[in-house]
Amino acid sequence: MRFHRKSADLTPLADISFATAARARHDREVNGDLVVQASIGTLCDDQQKIIAFPSVYEHFDAMAARSKARYAESFTGNASFREAVAAWVLEDHVRTLHRTVIATPGGTGALWAAMNTFLDPGETVILPGIAWNSYAAMAGHNGLRIRTYEMFADEHFNFASLRQAMTDVSRRQDRVVFLLNTPCNNPTGYSLSDGEWDILIDLVNEVSETCPVVMIVDVAYFDFVNDPAARSSFCRHLDRISDSVMVNILFSISKTMTAYGMRCGASILLARRQEDVRNIEIILEKTARLTWSNVNNAAMECFAWAVTADRDTLKEEIQAGVSLLKERSEIFLQEAAECGLELYPYREGFFCTLKYEDPAFAAEMFRALMDNHIYTVRVNGGIRIALCSLPKAQAAGLARRIRTVQDQLAAER
């Protein structure tokens, strides 16, 4: 006898990062400063307390109770929020495309909508080989097959691998859907350069001559690029897409406003033809109505206010976060280079990743690090270090400790 649908996946959800955090807390109680907690994925200060931008939360606290109580204006989100998201993300770069913005419960909601909209069950979505775990999990949950591309060729984005994946998939289905997470990639910290964006758009346009292409760009961490003037510069390239390309940008206020718990984000759709954008908008409006209904009204109002009325303060607060990330990454990366610890190319952002391509060795390293009081997150192809929450005092000396564990493990094998 069973009470659930036949196709349900009964494998328990193992969110290793929450489990690791719990073990690290216990270890800290016993071993104090010996413990390095590098697994927390939220922006924290050097006391490892979550940062809550004052401008955001002072305004939120002052908001009328009725604003917090009421439903959103519509299933697609409040007009002021939708406009504010378009202006914040696209700035005035995208001039020739039709667009719409749909409010979603976080970037996760936008991702869910993407995995549920562009492909039918049994079809294949193309994902980066090193990635946030939710992409593959959500694809699987929506009955999609996965084809991965290698993210790197040496120190740069691997266009040959992406091209191969797109070509193979285009031979088997009548749409190619692929995802990339840039800038400030989770977990590597890679950001496509301007030149790489040029190559990417050329590739996408070329594939679109034989098969329509949907390019999903997850920009969850884009506000934390080192050069604030460059954060939306990738959008400049989007005006070059062909008629047969759609761009779906996944946006989240979780990182931009340090508002992880407010569960608010957006799906931005861009294409050359109004009809194509409208068709997806209709689908996403129904997805919203029939799943989450509508998005947190207070979160939307707070974002619209923060990026218009008090934009400069929000930008300053974000910049303070960027400075923290820079200081921590400089310490860790410099020491890693000095002791020969190999990382994937890091440019900026919340995370960097140690390169362990052998999954068995990576698994052993992950456990051995915990045995040595160092808490990280295992990802495909390596081990993620959360610079976003790593106090500077703990960043110093960490690379050498990891190198020692790595050498001991390699010697024992």
Task: Give the number of residues written for the chain.
Answer: 413
Give 225's contacts (C-beta < 8 A, 6+ positions apart).
Answer: 183, 184, 191, 231, 322, 348, 349
Cα(247)–Cα(341) distance, rounded to whole angstroms? 37
Per CB under 6 A, which region of 106-114, 228-236, 323-331, 396-404 contacts ligand PLP?
106-114
C-beta closer to ligand PLP: residue 37 or 108: 108
Classify the C-alpha dihedral 265-162-274-91 as positive or negative. positive
Q: Could you tell me how many residues of this chain bind ligand PLP (CB under 6 A)?
A: 13
**CB of 246 closer than 8 Å to CB of 175:** no
- Angle between helices 297-306 and 79-90 in degrees, nearest 10: 50
Minimal distance, residue 389 CB to ligand PLP, in Å: 13
Stretch that binds ligand PLP, among 104-112, 229-237, 310-318, 367-375 (CB under 6 A): 104-112
Q: Tell whether residue 265 is a contact of ligand PLP (CB under 6 A).
A: yes
Q: How far apart are CA 402 and CA 128, in angstroms?
A: 26
Smallest CA-to-CA distance from 220 within 151, 152, 267 is with: 267
The reply to whether 218 sits near ligand PLP by the rule CB under 6 A is yes
What is the identity of the amino acid at 334?
Answer: Q
* Shortest distance, position 208 Cβ to ligand PLP, whole Å: 25
Taking CB under 6 A as the criterion, the residue among 132, 149, 224, 234 binding ligand PLP is 132
Amino acid at 390: L
> 3-state DSSP call for residue 195?
helix
For residue 106, state whether it binds ligand PLP (rule: CB under 6 A): yes
CB-count exposure of residue 196 (10 Å: 0-12, 13-18, 19+): middle
Binder of ligand PLP out of 20, 252, 258, 394 (CB under 6 A): 252
**Of the two residues 178 and 212, which places its CB atom closer to ligand PLP in the complex?**
178
Q: How far is the CB of 382 from ligand PLP (least distance, A)?
A: 16
Q: Is 380 near ligand PLP (CB under 6 A)?
A: no
Decide if 252 contacts 107 (C-beta within 8 A). yes
Instruction: Check residue 181 for interaction with ligand PLP (CB under 6 A).
Output: yes
Q: Which is nearer to ligand PLP, 42 or 173 (CB)?
A: 42
Q: Which of 37, 108, 294, 380 forms a contact with ligand PLP (CB under 6 A)?
A: 108
The phi-psi region of residue 293 (left if phi > 0; otherwise alpha if psi is between -120 and 50; otherwise beta) is: left
* Residue 41 contacts ligand PLP per CB under 6 A: yes
Is the CB of 108 or the CB of 294 nearer to ligand PLP? 108
Span near ligand PLP by CB under 6 A; candidates 55-63, 102-110, 197-205, 374-382: 102-110
Q: Which is nearer to ligand PLP, 350 or 375 (CB)?
A: 350
Which positions touch ligand PLP (CB under 6 A)? 41, 106-108, 132, 181, 186, 218, 220, 252, 254, 260, 265
